[in-house]
Structure 1
Amino acid sequence: MGNGGNDAQTIGDRTLGFDAYRRILALIMTNEIPPDARINIDRLAQELDVSATPVREALTRLEDDGLVAKTHLKGYRTTAILTAQQLDDLYGLRVLLEPPSAGAAALHATDADLAGIRRELETYSKSPFTNDLLSYARFSEHDARLHALIVRAAGNPAVSHALDRTHFHLHAFRLSSDQPAGETAIVEHARIVEAIAARDLDEATAAMREHLEASRARFLPRAV
């Protein structure tokens, strides 16, 4: 009975930390904090109008995402943009793992899995504005969630964990200051989801493979 205030404070701290994470993520994704830049925690806390504690919590989470790195005695820096080789290597991994996973999802996804995948697809029913970087950053997060749901529905936790560790979507977004391909990606996503819902292993596998190859063609020319 007596710890209700402490519980409320804990929840409040977590909320502040998550809000700081989302706001700093947006600054990184829109290049307001550029790649390979030092992060001043006190200045960032002042900008976000919060204490340093939620900013540190947010940076720890962003370090897990691979978007910032902590150096001993030097603090945090944003990570560098992916090179063309790094990007191509990540696509190579995804092409190996995700098309078979989409096919497996067509066979093994539960009704609850399918409902979750459809709900996520419907959260972005149209392309984001191409001149609104924050909007596309949010689309990138949606893209990551949708792919993760599909892989998890395949029922292989090892593959799911391997892809989660790449944080590919967050890195790939930073390759460009404008993103005209959102609408195309949404159409490709819809094809994959419909094939999974139809329990069509071959179509789900092919749709995912074609989506990844098209995505590779869209992003690779932006890499350096």
Structure 2
Amino acid sequence: MARRKNPAVELPALALPPRTILRDSVYEALKAMLMDLDVAPGSRLSIDGIARRLAVSPTPVREALTKLESDGLVATRPNAGYIVAPVLDEARLEHLFDVRDLLEPEAARLAATGASKAQLADLRAACAAMSAHPAADDYHAYRDFAVLDARLHRVLAEASGNPLIADALARLHAHTHGYRLYFRVGIAATTTREHQAVVDAVAAHDGPAAQAAMRTHLARSRVRLRAAYEAGAGQSEVD
């Protein structure tokens, strides 16, 4: 029996500024749809169809899809081209947090003695900006918070002084996967308080406290994300 192929999806119309649409504009437009699950996981993405919808040539679409693949949001399949990457199932979510539990508390502990003044300033600035961020209910409105959240974890990993830890965490795409699973308005404040506890310990050069604060943050994030399967995976959160 011939295997049935997923049909290419029709993307909703998007209002993008004329004559200024470049690769980044296409990338951000597609990323917002994928993060908010406006296009179902597993759906095939037509390069020509996207190009027509956005009134651009196929070249910036291909470039955007390549970047989205590196983000873990799209994947390539034989005879199907690009498809929307699946949302994490429960088992993969647990595996993701198992790896984070091994790496991130240790990264925070090392950062407490290894963070530079510039890195500490970056961590404090990220926390302050997240504290001031308004509530939002979709990726377009919440994008800046998501970027700050991922940046804080990235800087902590880099401040550990171990590039292998930083590289391994970057490859997990943890925040991208987390957002696609579950997001609730109001979670930002809780997440920011947990981040602040980590940053305060790092700034005080207290390695054990930084390690414990990161462990607490990850444990609470895991609980929040597990709730996605009770509510029906497909809402989103950052952590």
Whether TM-score is above 0.5 comes out as yes
Counterpart in 2 of 1:170? 176
Counterpart in 1 of 2:43? 37
Query: Counterpart amino acid of 1:142?
Result: L
Contact kept? 1:136, 1:179, Cα under 8 Å: no
Counterpart in 1 of 2:65? 59
Residues 1:211 and 2:212 aligned together: no
Q: What secondary structure, in the 3-state scheme, does the structure 1 residue paired with 2:76 have?
A: strand
- How far, CA to CA, are the matches of 2:48 and 2:99 in structure 1? 38
Counterpart in 2 of 1:7? none
From the superposition, tell whether residues 177 and 213 of structure 1 become closer, same or farther in structure 2 (CA, over 3 Å): closer
Counterpart in 1 of 2:158? 152
Residues 1:195 and 2:195 aligned together: no
Residue in structure 2 matching 1:21, options 17, 27, 34: 27
Contact kept? 2:130, 2:188, Cα under 8 Å: no
Pairwise CA RMSD of aligned residues?
1.8
From the superposition, tell whether residues 128 and 44 of structure 1 become closer, same or farther in structure 2 (CA, over 3 Å): farther
Residue in structure 1 matching 2:91, options 82, 85, 92: 85
TM-score, scaled relative to structure 2: 0.81
Counting aligned pairs with the same residue, the percent is 40
Counterpart in 1 of 2:78? 72
Q: How does 1:120-135 map to 2 (within 5 A)?
A: 120-126=126-132, 128-135=134-141
Higher helix share: 1
- How far, CA to CA, are the matches of 2:183 and 2:152 in structure 1? 23
For residues 39-78 of structure 1, give each alpha carbon's deviation from its aligned partner in whole angstroms, at most 9, with x where no partner exists.
1222222333322111110101111111111123321100
Residues 1:220 and 2:221 aligned together: no
Shift of 1:200: 1.2
- How far, CA to CA, are the matches of 1:90 and 1:76 in structure 2? 24
Query: Counterpart amino acid of 2:223?
Result: A
130-139 or 210-219, which deviates more = 130-139
From the superposition, tell whether residues 62 and 133 of structure 1 become closer, same or farther in structure 2 (CA, over 3 Å): closer
Query: Counterpart amino acid of 2:100?
Result: R
Shift of 1:179: 4.6
Counterpart in 1 of 2:106? 100
From the superposition, tell whether residues 152 and 61 of structure 1 become closer, same or farther in structure 2 (CA, over 3 Å): same
From the superposition, tell whether residues 101 and 220 of structure 1 become closer, same or farther in structure 2 (CA, over 3 Å): same
Shift of 1:177: 5.8
Counterpart in 2 of 1:4? none
Q: What secondary structure, in the 3-state scheme, does the structure 1 residue paired with 2:209 have?
A: helix
Residue in structure 1 matching 2:192, options 186, 193, 199: 186
Query: Counterpart amino acid of 2:92?
Result: Q
Contact kept? 1:101, 1:150, Cα under 8 Å: yes
Shift of 1:36: 1.4
Q: What secondary structure, in the 3-state scheme, does the structure 2 residue paired with 1:174 have?
A: helix
86-95 or 107-116, which deviates more = 107-116
Q: What secondary structure, in the 3-state scheme, does the structure 2 residue paired with 1:69 have?
A: strand
Contact kept? 1:120, 1:145, Cα under 8 Å: yes
From the superposition, tell whether residues 170 and 44 of structure 1 become closer, same or farther in structure 2 (CA, over 3 Å): same
111-120 or 124-133, which deviates more = 124-133
Q: What secondary structure, in the 3-state scheme, does the structure 1 residue paired with 2:42 have?
A: coil
Please list every run of 5 or more consecutive structure 1 residues that lacks an aligned counterpart in the other structure: 1-14
120-129 or 140-149, which deviates more = 120-129
TM-score, scaled relative to structure 1: 0.87
For residues 177-212 of structure 1, give each alpha carbon's deviation from its aligned partner in whole angstroms, at most 9, with x where no partner exists.
645412110111111111111111121111111000
Shift of 1:142: 2.1
